[in-house]
Structure 1
Amino acid sequence: MIKRILVALDPDGDTPVATRFAIRLAKKFDASVTGLAVVDTSNLQSAMGVGGYGTQISGQTIWAEMAEETRKVAEELLNDFKNAVEKAGVRHRDVQMHGASTELIIEEMKYHDLLIVGKDSRFFYNQPEKDTGTLAKVVKKGHAPTLIVTDEYRDVERIMIAFDGSGPAARTLKGFVHLLPYGKDIEIELIIVSEGDSIEEMDRASRILSQAEAYLKEHGFYYISKKVMEKGKPGERFLNLQMGRNPDLLLLGAHSVSAIRRAAFGSTTQYMVENSQGPLFLSP
């Protein structure tokens, strides 16, 4: 059950959509919504550049100006959030924090059931075009499932679940089932990309989906279909199917296929976050 929802606010156009998703769920579950604006000061020093002793006073002035500019952006975001939730009659908290965005969002996730965030999030308010990497870090290291939204709101009635039998995929499936954000009368399509073209590999993939289907049915989901796709790059396969089916939500595991970039998404997840045409649901 969902009782506390966290919305990470940033200046991109998908933040109002994230707030709208949060409001819809809050009304359904009589939940509260927290709007979190982070004045991320962790990058201000590097943004100023490095100078000698003679530039110390000038550097401090620039730092103060950038911090003030960032604070104003945070206040504007919180005002927009507050206006939206109060108009909807939803209980809320407005939180502004100073520090590193990744650490602060992860800390707040400890006390919330769901994080909702835009997929194009930029948390360095003073450098809106800079990719902070925060999204990947909070999804992988956070303490709650994450709903990643685009700049288009959708009522969720049909979902697609990318399930390969891995631990991360199972955690995402369980996280969704236990939260039950959209009820049980939804259409579900389970999908998997086979690891090979042989009959044995295709059968193995089919068995994995059958296990996921059985789990869902035990929890009261009955409108389920399954699709095994032939070998290929999973991200491209999932995206092509998503564009053809146009589901309201896609579930997938947020795992990494290698330890080269432990803080980043796995290649398939990263590909879908960058290219997805609709919302994504992931669990750490």
Structure 2
Amino acid sequence: MIKRILVGLGGTPFTTVSTHCATKLAKRHQAQTTGVTVVDMTKLGKLGPVPAGAGHYARRMRARRTQVTREGIEAAVEAFKNSCNDQNVVCRRIEYEQQDPFTAMIAEARYNDLTIFGLRSMFDYGFVSDPNKAIIKLVTQGVRPILAVADTYRPVKKVLIAYSGSMESAKAIRHFLHLKPWPDVKLHIVHFEEGAGSEPFLLDHAADFCKAHGFDVRTDLVKGQARTNLMPFAQGIDADLIVMGNSVHKTLVKQLLGDTVLETIKSADRPLFLSQ
């Protein structure tokens, strides 16, 4: 059940998709929305080394960059409000970041069922200095589930679930089924055999669980690594969304997020449902 949706507003094409997706979901579930801006304004003033005598021009450039960014954010906020009005969706409020671009998002996520944000925009538009670290911070601080949108909108009719057999992967499935954001989608579960430790029978258990929630399900067992084969597989079956789990265990976070989830975020051309 979805009753509150948190939306990251960054003034990029991903923001437009986030807004469209959030308001359509909110209308379907009669949910409320909250917008939060996610641009690090302090980073805009960092231009690197300035040649002697060029301080005046550097100051003008910083001011111009800040002005353009603020205008972009305000335009995104206005578009978000208008979209909520058009869909007859309640916008609870807009939170403006003052320093760290994700402090407000982390705080607000506690009281929202779903966070929608263009995670890949952190790589494509560089509004944080270390995207990997920023994403790990969001996950480890409890911002989940996250619907990480792509830069173009596509209706969700077929969902690919990447199931590793881990507890985190199973939790992601459970969170998706309980939220049921798109109740009429078809599910396709894939398990990648990456070594002798794979347990293919877990696919049947996962499929039975999804069927118990009323979904139409099919499964695939694929040899190879999820890190390199997941996106081509999703494209091959024309999936509209990928469901993935992740771990926040301190010793595993870099390995699991770095090798699988982060790699997928960087290359994804379709939305990701990330949970734990």
What TM-score does the superposition give when structure 1 sets the normalisation length? Answer: 0.81
Question: Are residue 254 (structure 1) and residue 253 (structure 2) matched?
Answer: no
SS of residue in 1 equivalent to 2:89: coil
Offset at residue 122 of structure 1 (A): 3.5
What's 2:211 paired with?
217
Shift of 1:61: 9.4
What is the deviation of 1:21? 0.8
Task: Indicate conservation of the 8 Å contact 2:156/2:182, yes or no.
Answer: yes
Which of the residues 200, 219, 229 maps onto 2:222?
229
Distance of 2:124 and 2:106 partners within structure 1:
16
Tell me the alpha carbon deviations over residues 3-57 of structure 1, each in whole angstroms, 9 at most, x when there is no partner. Answer: 1111101122121111111111111111111121145245357x16699xxxxxx
Structure 2: how far apart are the matches of 1:136 and 1:147? 15
1:75 aligns with 2:74: yes
Q: 1:123 to 1:111 in 2, by over 3 A?
A: farther
Q: Does the aligned pair in 1 maintain the 2:7–2:35 contact within 8 Å? A: yes
Q: How many residues align?
A: 271
Q: Matches of residues 27-42 of structure 1 in structure 2 within 5 Å?
A: 27-38=27-38, 40-42=40-42
CA distance, structure 2, for counterparts of residue 176 and residue 31 of structure 1: 16
2:104 aligned residue: 104
Question: Does the Cα contact within 8 Å between 1:137 and 1:263 map onto a contact in 2?
Answer: no
Residues in 2 aligned to 1:280 and 1:145: alpha-carbon distance in whole angstroms = 10
| Paired residue type of 2:207 | E
* Kept after mapping to 1: 8 A contact 2:9/2:117: yes
User: Where in structure 2 are there 5+ consecutive unaligned residues?
Assistant: 51-56
Q: Deviations over 1:78-114 (max 9, x none)?
A: 1121122222221112222212012221111111110
Percent identity between the aligned chains? 31
Shift of 1:169: 0.7
Give the direction of change, closer, same or farther, for the CA distance of 1:59–1:153 in structure 2 (3 Å limit): closer
CA contact (8 A) 1:39 1:98 kept: no
Distance 1:64 1:34, change over 3 A: same
> What amino acid is aligned across from residue 265 of structure 1 in structure 2?
L
Letter in structure 2 aligned against 1:252: M
Describe the SS at the equivalent of 2:97: strand
Aligned to 1:10: 10
**Mean CA deviation greater in 82-91 or 134-143:** 134-143
SS of the counterpart of 1:101? coil
SS in 2 for 1:28: helix
Specify whether residues 28 and 275 from structure 1 end up closer, same or farther in structure 2 by C-alpha distance, changes over 3 A only: same
**What secondary structure is seen at the aligned counterpart in 2 of 1:265?**
helix
Letter in 1 for 2:222: M
Q: Which AA in structure 2 matches 1:276?
A: A
Q: In structure 2, do the counterparts of structure 1 residues 8 and 131 end up closer, same or farther at CA, with 3 Å as the change threshold?
A: same
Structure-2 separation of matches of 1:214 and 1:31: 29
Question: 1:1-284 maps to which residues of 2 (within 5 A)?
Answer: 1-38=1-38, 40-43=40-43, 47=46, 70-92=69-91, 93-122=93-122, 128=127, 132-133=131-132, 134-183=134-183, 185-196=184-195, 205-221=199-215, 223-230=216-223, 232-255=224-247, 259=251, 262=254, 265-284=257-276
Quote how far apart the aligned CAs of 1:263 are. Answer: 10
Q: How has the CA–CA distance of structure 1 residues 128 and 138 changed in structure 2, closer, same or farther, with 3 Å as cutoff?
A: closer
Secondary structure of 1:281 counterpart: strand
Superimposed CA distance per residue, residues 248-268 of structure 1 (whole angstroms, 9 cap, x where no aligned partner) = 111111337994874982311
Report the RMSD for the aligned CA atoms in angstroms.
3.3
Report how far residue 123 of structure 1 moved: 9.8
